[in-house]
Amino acid sequence: EEKIYGHTPEDAFLEQGPGQNRENEKWLKVTEHANSNNPAEWRVAIIEADIMLDELLKTLGYDGEGVGEMLKKVESSDMLTLDQAWEAHKIRNRIAHSGQEFDLSERETRRVIKLFEEVFKEFQII
């Protein structure tokens, strides 16, 4: 990947040196929002996780106007968690387009965050 893209997905997300704690700062913020008692923070968690997905896709060399366009270009053999990425992104879109009208439960928030987590673990971002 480094030869093709000039960097690996890990390089794009992990700012700490080797041997240090490899927790991703952005992901820690996402989980902080997701674990809040405030439903508004749950929305922020999902939107922030989707931003991380956007960054990941760009790092992997995909281009497009947004996450949806980039996901359309991903071959299922290149991303084992493609279905999870799509499902999580669709929920993010419903939040973004419906705002407060979209009924987001704590349980649904945890499920969607878990979908993002599976994608990020596949690419060793978290």
CB atoms under 10 Å from CB of 27, counted, come to: 19
- pLDDT of 29 strictly over 50: yes
Q: pLDDT value at position 68? A: 97
Q: pLDDT value at position 20? A: 36
- Could you report the per-residue pLDDT of 33-57, keeping only the tens digit for each? 999 999 999 999 999 999 999 999 9
Is residue 110 within 8 A of residue 34, CB to CB? The reply is yes
Q: What are the CA-CA distances from residue 81 to residues 48, 96, 118, 119 (Å)?
A: 18, 23, 7, 5
- Could you report the per-residue pLDDT of 53-105, keeping only the tens digit for each? 999 999 999 999 999 999 999 999 999 999 999 999 999 999 999 988 899 99
Taking alpha carbons only, the member of 69, 116, 60, 72 closest to residue 91 is 116
The two structure tokens encoding residue 114 = 């878990």
